[in-house]
Structure 1
């Protein structure tokens, strides 16, 4: 375990949630490592976890059954795994991006570019989190384990995507929504069309919310040569956000229909509320979108936890009624 002694004065990250528990309650010597894992900013963990729960609920709908005790453990394991793997992934991302982060106003106070954590200590911290996540992973069914391991590749590639493509948000979407496949495999014991359609819906959703998020850094990204959909779309961003919204709704609706047409009509009707709830929330975000308003962009991005949980509510009700 790395020596948690910071090399620079303790400082909070500007876009962390105000009054978060890391800044208020964590031991000062551990705060840089907890910030490295983004535990002061839990929205990313939610956005990684919610597709896992979507997949689990959709798999139950496809099987025509309600949750068992094993499924409840899977839901818990996904929560633990999402927190650990998000921490490991963010540590890896910050190791790869530490020079870029030092040149961007919003990220220059992160633990690595500010010198609060050394690269060697960050590597050890990443390994510890990944090892703990691996122990949780071993409690899942074999197919779910295999699917989860396959998802490590896009997660590892994401930090480098912004250097070679204008679509790094798509690479993030591939990685962040892989949990939909894992959750479905855990519940249904297979991977078929509903799982892949749900994964596609999550990908479109990520393109929506992370394009909004990337607009905070457009000017700095242009100066340091980092690519993003925010820079690519520019003034046409609202048009692209509308396309991503429609794709997310259509693909989630197709996933529910593919999974639930052989089961209870009530279960299908309830589950079909999920794409409409997601679309309603995203439409509200689009109506409020102002690319020059940084604080608003951050609020819109964070509100996607509620968008995802609304969709989960209807998928869960459909599974319970199956």
Structure 2
């Protein structure tokens, strides 16, 4: 176990590495001192170290106090950093991120996100951890998937660190695909106002009822986890309380810029690449039904949202790239709008 003194040294070393890796001037490094004071005085979360990939790309290791371990996030820096820029948070699907062999499957490796945002003046933070977890706070530690406090990490620990480290504007958006399409909605609901814009592609938000609940449980089981460690047995109140699609939770999205998408008439040949074939078609058929049900629920509550149904879209990265391209103009407006 690392001592408090060891953690202090680690935090200080991390700040120095951040200053060097992010190209901060010596005077800027001194300005980072309050970051150490704040994290150590509060919950101890801090940036542990940084691996520079290029002048615009870094892999940042962030110590999460809630999970008591380091979490890797990939950062694409805004090209123009002359003024504070907004931040787009990206979440991967259930099987994506960095696997046990160190192979990365993510927004950066499966889409054109790095080139796409090159002239958009936005920072991008892609979480490379969290496979099969639904990016939520679990009630119990899991023998296979460990301690999961993702809501805490993504709404309380990570954003302040990224804002200070990147010199960001504090204006945020979040996008998720498949498993994390549900997570993006739930995270925005858990911290109203944190994300100005939310994009949810190919998700099944109704996690408190079937088939959405069974969909979630199947995903977690496929990763070796126990889904009942998340919110307890099927009939436990926490399943409804954490369902992003209940009227009470959807109300928390009122005023947020929302973009939701799914494929329709999924055609693997048309979608191309990624996860294709019968499984992709079946999955997208299920999430299309979930998405249309969510559209109806939002309509009944008179909450504005943009819905897109990609003809022939599958449950795969090429389709999600197309979804993102479609959603981005609206997201960009929300990120730069006056508060």
Fold similarity call, TM over 0.5: no
Q: Which has the higher strand share?
A: 2
Q: Which has the higher helix share?
A: 1
Give the TM-score normalised by the residue count of structure 2: 0.31
